[in-house]
Amino acid sequence: MGEPLIQKEVPEDAPITETSVTLFRLGEACNNRCPMCTNSGLPEAFFFDEAELLRRVGFVHARGLRRVVITGGEPTIHPGFWSVVARLGELGMSWDINTHGRRFAEPEFTARAMREGLQRAIVSLHGHEEQVSRIMSGISAKGHDETIRGIEQLLGQGAAVIINLVVSEWTAATLPEFVAWCAERFGAPAHGGPRYAIKFAFPSLLSKGESWAPIRIRLSDTAASLERLPEVADEAGIELMFESFPNCVLGESGAKNVGRLGFGETHYLDDVTGDALYSIAWLEARDAVYARACQLCEAFEACPGVSARYVELFGTDELKPFLSGPIPWWFGA
């Protein structure tokens, strides 16, 4: 537990190019009550009025960004949501969304979003079993149903969808069952259903929800489940994505973790001030640590590592570097 840890050195700034994408938070207000929420919980980040959000749109546009991923809290409940979308359209900017999906259960809401330029949505569904979903998202049976119908509406109206599940003690051993349920409910792309992806996110221990016991799981708790995943996903034709899973845990040196980059996000607009842009690669490197031996791993450059808090709780014994040969004698124990 006391072994030295290492971090990657990543530049704080990232150039803004024609393909750059920034996260754009409308505030942290939400009508779900997820106990493991990854937001800051800062009062000053809770709500911004419409005028301030429109100012922020102008700011990121002036900096050269032409695509944003709108996020929250839950962005669709903000009273200025459609005004922000309209301003993005006026400036010729594209937009995607991170959402719990409940408003999209309304066909006309989804239709309007599609008319106004929505292309891609990451929708959080943290369990296919209703009781698990309700606990994880702090919602009623109605809220669970709305999320499912929201995904159906988005897929049915042509949006590209990533279904996001934060792994917990209730789902760590049943990830293939979640994929199979999605294939049955939303359709299997390999058998004529709509195309979509499923992202499994290992829980963050760096936010206001980090102390919630059901997400304080070990990476190894998912091992058997991860081993069964490819067969189920391949049969259904569903693309799998991962967030915050070290490559050695996934069992593949070439596995790609998307982190906060589900839609290729490169930048993060300061939640509180709205007048500074940070490199997401820098933010993720700042929060990630590695065992000393990890620097010899074939997957080191691609690997997301783990949080220092995770190491405090569980150590680094689960991290097994992919090595092309024996550890050099000069590296030491």
Residue spans of the domains in the chain: they are 14-287
pLDDT in tens, 119-161: 999 999 999 999 999 999 999 999 999 999 999 999 999 999 9
Residue 1 has pLDDT above 60, yes or no: no
Confidence at residue 329, expressed as pLDDT on a 0 to 100 scale: 60
What are the strands, taking DSSP E only, across 106-207? 118-124, 160-166, 196-201
The pairing of beta strand 67-71 with beta strand 22-25 = parallel
* CATH code of the domain made up of 14-287: 3.20.20.70
Confidence at residue 33, expressed as pLDDT on a 0 to 100 scale: 96
Neighbour-count burial for 277-312, b at 16+ CB within 10 Å, e otherwise: bbbbbbbbbebbbbbebbeebebbeebbbbbeebbe
Average pLDDT of the residues in 96-118: 99
Give, for 56, the enclosing helix (H) or strand (E): helix 50-62
Residue 330 has pLDDT above 80, yes or no: no
Residue 252 has pLDDT above 60, yes or no: yes
Radius of gyration of the chain measured on its C-alpha atoms: 20
DSSP state of 295: G
pLDDT in tens, 17-49: 999 999 999 999 999 999 999 899 899 999 999
Confidence at residue 257, expressed as pLDDT on a 0 to 100 scale: 77
How far CA 5 is from CA of 12, 159, 164, 206, 302, in Å, comes to 20, 42, 30, 17, 17
- Please report how many Cα atoms fall inside a 13 Å half-sphere around the Cα of residue 31, on the Cβ side: 15
